[in-house]
Amino acid sequence: MLHIAFHIRERKDLEGTLFVYERLCKPYHGFAILSTVSRETFVQIIKSSMEFKHTPTYEAFLQYKVDVGDIYGIWFISKNDCPRVTECLKW
């Protein structure tokens, strides 16, 4: 389990635990963030068209693009978790 904060252009009131999962039926992969600061749960299906970007300059930040104009960011408490999770999400 990882504790993260989630951003969509402007800060979203979503901070909590990130779960990466695999299913037996389509869609096969995704992740969910169970918020500890609100009642909201964020679920993202991983699509083959998604782009993930993690740069050494921002060691604890993962940026990803779902569709044209939809750019999201995940901030990790530990900079060591970010590259590991980035690789998990690139199915």
pLDDT tens-digit readout, 21-74? 999 999 999 999 998 888 889 999 999 889 999 888 888 999 999 887 788 889
Structure tokens at 30: 């995704």
CATH number corresponding to 2-89: 2.30.29.30
Res 10 pLDDT > 70? no
CB burial of 60-70 (b: ≥16 within 10 Å; e: otherwise) equals bbbbbeeeeee
Bridge-based pairing state of the strands 51-53 and 2-8:
unpaired
How confident is the model at residue 3, as a pLDDT? Answer: 57
Domain ranges of the chain: 2-89
Q: Residue 4's pLDDT is what?
A: 58
pLDDT of residue 32: 94
Share of the chain above pLDDT 70, in %: 86
Residue 17 token pair: 């635990």
